[in-house]
Amino acid sequence: MFRGEEIKLNNKELLPSLSILHSTVDASFEAIMEKHLYEVYRLCCWLLQDKIAAEDVTQEVFLRAYKSLPGFRGESKIETWLYRIAINESKRYLRSWSIRHIFYQAEPDVQEFLEIEEGVMKKEEWRHLATVIAKLPFRHRQIIILHYYEELTIEEVGEILEISPGAVYTRLHRAREKLKVLLNKEGEKWT
């Protein structure tokens, strides 16, 4: 184009390119959702200890991800980005006034988690451990779940929680100590 030459486009000329962009974002999001839905839902189940709340929060996670997908810079992995959103949404859910003041907190449904991890541990050991982990404060429970159950590295956990690897090690140590105290209170040996 030469200087001074104006480019005049009408809305009809813009629509095809906008619809292609929109369909590309939709296709990208659909692929992301298909690949990561179960992992995000499982994480929310662990963090919230409530299947119905986890479904709601998972929907909110993917709604936020969809709205933010065009701005995703790719500085981290998609999984890390989604886990960070899931943790933030879970925190928001747990802090909400209605949950703390209107609804009572039911005991976690451990049977649901047993089906997922049945091949890893015997049922009774798993039930007991999951019950004890559910008693941990949220910040300790999230570290244990991300590192041991989601099998994320210290660096990935740090990226999700937006803290340094050193802080992850510290929190992980404190979470294990709290878990140890809880297990000892219940007469279990810490191994």
For residue 30, give the nearest of 62, 2, 8 by alpha carbon: 62
| 3-state DSSP of 103-134 | CCCCCCCHHHHHHHHCCCCCHHHHHHHHHHHH
- State the average pLDDT over residues 33-41: 90
More confident residue, 99 or 60: 60
Please, are residues 179 and 186 in contact by the beta-carbon 8 Å criterion? no
Q: What 3-state class would DSSP assign to 85?
A: helix
- State the average pLDDT over residues 104-114: 55
For residue 33, give the nearest of 54, 64, 74 by alpha carbon: 64
124-161 pLDDT tens trace:
676 777 788 888 898 898 998 888 888 889 999 999 99
Q: What is the pLDDT of residue 15?
A: 37
For residue 65, give the nearest of 46, 79, 75 by alpha carbon: 79
Q: What is the pLDDT of residue 19?
A: 44
